A and B are shown apart, each in its own frame.
Chain A
Amino acid sequence: MSARYDAIVIGAGHNGLVAAAVLARKGKKVLVLEARDHLGGMLGDPDFRVAPQPYALRPEIARVLQLDQKRLHGAKPVETLAISSEGAPLSIIGGQVSGTDAITEHDYATFHARLGRQAQALGVMMLQSPPGLGKASFGEMAGLARMALKMRLLGKTEMRDLLRIILSNAWDLLNDEIGDGPLAGVLAMDATLGGAMGPRSPGTVLSLLYRMASQSSHGHGLRVMPEGGPDALVKALSHCVTSADGEIRTGAPVARILVDQDKAAGVRLHSGEEIAAPLVLSNASPKFTLMTLLGVEHLDGEFVRRCRNMASKGMVSRLDFDIGEMPPLHHGGKIEHGQRLVFAPTMEVIETAFNAAKYGEMPERPVFEATYDAAAKRLCVTAQFTPHDLKGGWTDDSKSKLARSVMAALEDALPGLSSGITGSRVMSPVDIETGYGASGGHWHHGELRVDQLLMLRPFDGAAQYRMPVKGVYLCGAGAHPGGDISGAPGFNAARTALRDGGH
């Protein structure tokens, strides 16, 4: 087995593609191995995408990879509609709300701008390798120092405010600032989306700020859909790999990471084929990478324990409804292509849905976001608090029960919707787990929680992309800075591997 490649990237999710592109552009001979028959991981399957919503690929990464930024980031920011049964939906773009009174609009704008500034200060660490606990390098400490400086530059009042709220919960903060209602519902949804936390869970302010720290050309927290949709983004990234002489193979699931003399030696595919490389980056979740692909025999017992205990209980299900034309909203108005519809009328509703999921039960009334894809004639729903460990398991019955309850909520806002449905599909957290190498079916490969961020992401002792076996790196959402379609984990991991050199 001779090494034909300098590096193998497991998984052609966006992070894997970013990592491969960074390596390939530095002259490394890279092979990307993808288990599925499409590229792009959770955003890549045109038939049923896990992540159909707009993205927040870091502009810095697009710049470094010389992607077509106008195509990727040129679109207008997406409008969010906060749907409630009380009245007409509120329209939100960033800090701007319309459809409510002038005072609320002003309060929301002020509040949103303040959170944005605070989020930006935290965001300094996003493209940095987090400092090591105990033995941090100068560069890593400089990153932390920059974040501290940024926080200080917020001014005394806002810095103090940030330190006051950072570990608290979204429920208290939003009740203090804007009161419960559709606006708070949208922000609380942002704070909890994908995670196993309700608005009342401690640390949800941090996860809200974390989401707002993502950047687009329109400012903090905003997401844009690339021109040409998700496929265009995937294509741009994969082109970036192949044009730098990187290879990509689909339908090539990896069974094992091969280790020789405590160093990465390559991978073995399910087909039995072995491919040698001294550097292996895995875009799969940390648990799957370490326990299944690498194997516990290469790891210390304490490390394995921390990995096992990592919180990664998936809560998100995806539902697609085929529909020719969207009916008008109950309170008037039309749904347009690409709008983000949030069905979380109050924080109370979100918390109630979470209560059931905590104990492995399906909520009576799930909260969800939806978007209508006019080209595919499809309503894509992302439903929250449908637990991975559902009591009784994810049977066809439980899936159709979920579809019914989502449809009931949709029908309230969009009367006549159900009669136009010609087909539907449900993807449970278990399906996401088996389909995408994400343990627990967790979107972010691990809860975005204060004890699983920065130098503790994915867990203590595994935080800087490099794993205990030399040459093995994590480059997926499980690594810092975490989930979302930001590309940052892949980017940081590849740069760390390049810095380490010697592979």
Chain B
Amino acid sequence: MATKAKPIAQVALGLEPGPFHERLVAHNRQQSWVNWMGYASPSVLDNVEFEYFAIRNQSTLFDISPMCKYAITGPDAETVVNRLVTRDIRKLKPGRVAYCIWCDEDGNVVDDGTVFRLSETEFRLCCQEPQLSWLEDIAWGFDVSISDVTRDIAGLALQGPTSCALLKDLGLAGIETLKTFGIAGFEIAGSVVTISRTGFTGDLGYELWIRPADALKVWDALMGAGKLRGLRVIGYEALEMARIEAGFLLPKVDFLSAQTVLRADRANTPYELGLEWLVALDKPHFNGRRALVDLSKQTPRRKLVAIEIERDKPAHNALVYHRKNREVGMVTSALWSPTCKRNIAYAWLDAPYGQSVTDDLWVEIYLQKEIRWQRRMVRCKLVDKPFFAHPRRTATPPADH
């Protein structure tokens, strides 16, 4: 008699479980996962609205362990990081973080990320795309060591108005004195945790950097203390809403890395991205400097702008027109902002639109109403980033909420 075949455990996603996976699985009612650098990352755990409002009204936990992290250390570390990024990193003091971009030799942006200066000679770079071979090219000939520490460090983003109070509840003495973009060391549940006051939400918040072995211990301590602070675990979709409001750009959505484009003209310069404030042309040579000097004297071919659109329907994938008839650009990220109560988006506009011509711009939005599609031309106007800015993001000490 043939024996009945045993059911085989399914490899559900082919994705790697991160350091917090056990807890994420338990919280993830939707079991909806996305692939983030090979890790299983939740897109929504429960309900995107609840998760989003927790960012703006309570506090939230998001697993950022999959983010690429590189340690750059050695006598020439400052020189190498300064050679990599467009900002003048010599001005970054130990214990501080800076948002940076880096460019290729043509002055096109390779990626953006945050540079942590842990000491005079130790830096950590956090970014979206793998950069090891790029970093090795930049560092060639210098006395520096570069290692990929992505898997050596677990990361948690604790974001929201009650996040500081929550950490104080855990007994983190002095956390309220940590300034925006500052780094400090603390202890949670007996584990060493490095905390930076950084985040992707534009709100009060922290990022916690933990040894993977301590990950679950710290998670449990946070969740325990978070009960009275409205702490909620969130997924990618809620964060995406907050990041658009906060005015942050997302690679692969708003722009492409110069290293991944197939069509050479799809790469973007800092001037096109509106990131010229990050480019310090007056510092010593850095990658792409000569091209950027030339580019700084030219009118960008196109520009990524923040727009506000009339009425309430988000302008996903919409085209932008001038005088309703001339196609001049397209929307990359769009959102009806629940907090700002504004219909917001980022759009690429070809020169001279968005630069010298800023009036009479229209967005073409398609709406489906009971099977039938409708086309709606709505007026839009250029606005400044960020869409959402709250004093609590930078207030030190933050108020108790």
Chain A residues packing against B (C-beta within 8 Å)? 262, 291, 295-305, 308, 461, 468
Contact = CB atoms under 8 A, between A and B. Distances in A.
Given A301-B134, A303-B105, A308 B140 contact: yes
B290 interface: yes
B365 interface: no
Contact of B137 (A291, A298, A301): A301
Given A262-B290, A468-B290, A301 B138 contact: yes
Interface stretch (B40-48, B281-289, B354-362): B281-289
B86 to A, nearest CB: 13
3 nearest A-B pairs in the assembled complex, by CB-CB distance: A300-B105, A296-B141, A301-B137
Nearest to A300: B105
A301 B287 CA distance: 7
Contacts of A305: 137, 140
Nearest to B291: A300
Contact of A304 (B104, B141, B289): B141
B62 to A, nearest CB: 33
Contacts of A302: 104-105, 137, 287
Interface string B59-102: 00000000000000000000100010000000000000000000
Given A297-B141, A300-B288, 12 more contacts: A295-B141, A297-B142, A299-B285, A300-B105, A301-B83, A301-B138, A301-B140, A302-B137, A303-B105, A308-B140, A461-B105, A468-B290
Contacts of B140: 296, 301, 304-305, 308
B125 to A, nearest CB: 15
B105 A262 contact: no
Interface of B: 79, 83, 104-105, 134, 137-138, 140-142, 284-285, 287-290
Contacts of A461: 105
B128 to A, nearest CB: 19
B134 A298 contact: no
A427 to B, nearest CB: 29
A262 B83 CA distance: 14
A374 B284 CA distance: 57
B285 A262 contact: yes
Contacts of B134: 301
Contacts of B289: 262
Given A262-B290, A297-B79, A468-B290, A304 B285 contact: no
B287 A300 contact: yes
A461 B104 CA distance: 13
A462 to B, nearest CB: 12
| Interface-central residue, B140, B285, B289, by most chain A CB under 10 Å | B285
Contacts of B137: 301-302, 304-305
Contacts of B285: 262, 297-299
A303 B106 CA distance: 11
Nearest to A298: B285
A297 B138 CA distance: 9
A291 B140 CA distance: 10
Nearest to A461: B105
Contacts of A262: 285, 289-290
Nearest to A299: B285
A304 B141 CA distance: 9
A412 B130 CA distance: 61
Contacts of A308: 140
A297 B83 contact: yes
Contacts of A295: 141
10 contacts: A262-B289, A295-B141, A297-B79, A297-B284, A297-B285, A300-B287, A300-B290, A301-B83, A303-B105, A308-B140
Contacts of A303: 105
A302 to B, nearest CB: 5
Contacts of A300: 104-105, 287-288, 290
A302 B259 CA distance: 12
B259 to A, nearest CB: 10
Nearest to B82: A297
A461 B284 CA distance: 21
B319 to A, nearest CB: 31
B314 to A, nearest CB: 39
A295 B289 CA distance: 16
A310 to B, nearest CB: 14
A305 B259 CA distance: 15
A67 to B, nearest CB: 38
Contacts of A291: 141
Nearest to B139: A301
Nearest to B288: A300
Nearest to B290: A468
A304 B83 CA distance: 13
Contacts of B287: 300-302
B296 to A, nearest CB: 14
Nearest to A292: B141
A461 B289 CA distance: 15
A407 B79 CA distance: 53
A461 B134 CA distance: 18
B108 to A, nearest CB: 11
| Interface-central residue, B105, B284, B287, by most chain A CB under 10 Å | B105
Nearest to B140: A304
A299 B286 CA distance: 8
Contacts of B79: 297
A186 B304 CA distance: 63
A422 B284 CA distance: 58
A291 B142 CA distance: 12
B190 to A, nearest CB: 43
Contacts of B141: 291, 295-297, 304
Contacts of B290: 262, 300, 468
A3 to B, nearest CB: 22
A270 to B, nearest CB: 20
Contacts of B142: 296-297
A309 to B, nearest CB: 11
| Interface-central residue, A297, A308, A461, by most chain B CB under 10 Å | A297
A308 B104 CA distance: 17
A283 to B, nearest CB: 23
| Interface-central residue, A295, A296, A300, A303, by most chain B CB under 10 Å | A300
Nearest to B107: A300
A308 B83 CA distance: 18
Contacts of A296: 140-142
A297 B288 CA distance: 12
Nearest to B138: A301
Nearest to B76: A297
A304 B289 CA distance: 15
A295 B141 CA distance: 9
Nearest to A308: B140
B294 to A, nearest CB: 12
Nearest to A262: B285
Nearest to B103: A300
A257 B285 CA distance: 15
A132 to B, nearest CB: 14
B107 to A, nearest CB: 10
A300 B287 CA distance: 5
| Interface-central residue, B141, B142, B284, by most chain A CB under 10 Å | B141
A305 B137 CA distance: 6
A158 B140 CA distance: 47
A58 to B, nearest CB: 33
Nearest to B286: A300
Contacts of B83: 297, 301
Nearest to A296: B141
A308 B140 CA distance: 10
A291 B141 CA distance: 8
A305 B83 CA distance: 15
Contacts of B284: 297
